[in-house]
A and B are shown apart, each in its own frame.
Chain A
Amino acid sequence: MNTSLRLRAGLVSIALLAAFLGIWHLATRSTAPVTTMSPEYAKLMGLTATQGKSAMPGPLDVGAKLWEHLKRPFYDNGPNDKGLGIQLGYSIARVGTGYLLAVLVAIPLGFLIGMSPLLSKALDPFIQVLKPISPLAWMPLALYTIKDSSISAIFVIFICSIWPMLLNTVFGVASVRKEWVNVARTLEVGTVRRAFTVILPAAAPTILTGMRISIGIAWLVIVAAEMLVGGTGIGYFVWNEWNNLSITNVIIAILLIGVVGMLLDQILARFTRMVTFPE
Chain B
Amino acid sequence: MTDKFISIEAIAKRYPGAGGATTTVFENLWLSMKRGEFACVIGHSGCGKTTVLNILAGLDAPSEGAVIVDGQAISGTSLDRAVIFQSHALLPWRTVLGNVAYAVSSKWRSWDRAKVRAHAQTFIDLVGLSGSEHKRPSELSGGMKQRVGIARALSITPKMMLMDEPFSALDALTRGTLQDEVRRICLETGQTAFMITHDVDEAIYLADKIFLMTNGPGAVLAEVVENPLPRDRGRTDLHRHPLYYALRNHIIDFLVTRSKTFTTEKPDHDPRNVPVVHIGKPGLSIASNGEEPRQTWMPGTNPGLSA
Contact = CB atoms under 8 A, between A and B. Distances in A.
Interface of A: 177, 179-180, 182-189, 197-198, 201-202, 277-279
B78 A180 contact: no
13 contacts: A179-B87, A182-B89, A183-B91, A185-B58, A185-B59, A186-B58, A186-B83, A187-B79, A187-B103, A187-B106, A187-B107, A188-B77, A277-B92
Chain A residues touching B, majority SS: helix
Contacts of B136: 277-278
A201 B77 contact: no
A177 B91 CA distance: 10
B44 interface: no
B102 interface: yes
A197 B77 contact: no
B92 A186 contact: no
B89 A183 contact: yes
Interface string B253-293: 00000000000000000000000000000000000000000
Nearest to A189: B106
A168 B77 CA distance: 30
Interface in B65-120: 76-79, 81-83, 85, 87, 89, 91-93, 102-103, 106-107
A182 B78 contact: no
B156 interface: yes
Contacts of A198: 91
B79 A188 contact: yes
Contacts of A279: 92, 138
Given A186-B82, A187-B106, A277 B93 contact: yes
Given A179-B87, A278-B136, A186 B93 contact: no
Contact of A186 (B57, B87, B91, B138): B57
A267 B106 CA distance: 35
Contact of B92 (A184, A189, A278): A278
A197 to B, nearest CB: 7
